[in-house]
Amino acid sequence: MGNNICGIEEDKKQSLQPESKVITTRTINQTTIQIVQADIVEELVDVVVNSSHEPGWSYISKRDKNNKTNELLQEMKIGELIVTNTENVNSVQIFHVRLPFYQDSKDLLPIFNVYKECLQQKGHKTISFTEQNTPNFLIPKQFHAEVLIRAILSAIQEGDIEFELIKFVSLDQLTLKYFAYELMKQLDELKIPELFKLRYQQFMNFLQNGEDAQQDVYPLSTGITTEIEDLVEQQ
């Protein structure tokens, strides 16, 4: 094994990362999913996902300080994935994805699709996602949580994934509660395969058709906002 951690070269680890806190850990089909309270640029992983409407202006890009990469990111199209090597982030590569400017539920489909594309990339074992990176990407936290967790679980169920560890990383407690809640909710569905399949089909139909769907409106993470926010306020 030597001194190589998560495939990261020694010169990528000059400073020790701050202590992180694992909120939730679950393993499905040999892939571990973690919800972690930490700074994403300090986490030791093979890949970090820089997802934003403007990836070149995100927190991750600013910390990486790679001028050549920033020039490339300025020309990205919506839904595009660009892979670059890192300069000042504790990972081997960054998956940059440009997301749509969120206005309504129909904008969630390209987000879901590009997250699946990230998860289907080969050659790495560990990957970290985070919440929106710039103020103008205003997807509601509960919607973002459901989209990412469903992308992860569907990729695992389809068997088209090489990642052994998938993290969602944030420093914000409310955001972490949304993602931990959503993970546990969907894992409960997964205990009944037909229910998980039905929910996934309803979810995809809703993303593709929004409120025009010819069915009962899919309850996209409804009923958790007030409960979680009240819980945080009481702490």
Over the stretch 177-216, which tens digit does the pLDDT of each residue have?
A: 999 999 999 999 999 999 999 989 889 888 888 655 445 5
Find how far residue 108's CA is from the centre of its chain.
13
Q: How many CB atoms lie within 10 A of CB 4?
A: 11
Higher pLDDT, 137 or 155: 155
Q: Name the average pLDDT for the chain.
A: 81
Find how far residue 146's CA is from the centre of its chain.
10
pLDDT bucket at 103, cuts 50 / 70 / 90: confident
pLDDT bucket at 133, cuts 50 / 70 / 90: low
Q: Is the pLDDT of residue 106 over 60?
A: yes
Q: Is the pLDDT of residue 13 over 70?
A: no
pLDDT at 132: 57
Overall average pLDDT of the 157-186 stretch: 93
- 57 DSSP β-pair partners: none
Share of the chain above pLDDT 70, in %: 79
pLDDT at 146: 92
Domains contained in the chain, CATH given: 23-213 (3.40.220.10)
pTM: 0.82
Q: Is the pLDDT of residue 40 over 90?
A: no
Q: How many CB atoms lie within 10 A of CB 195?
A: 12
How does DSSP classify residue 5?
B
Structure tokens of 164? 């052994």
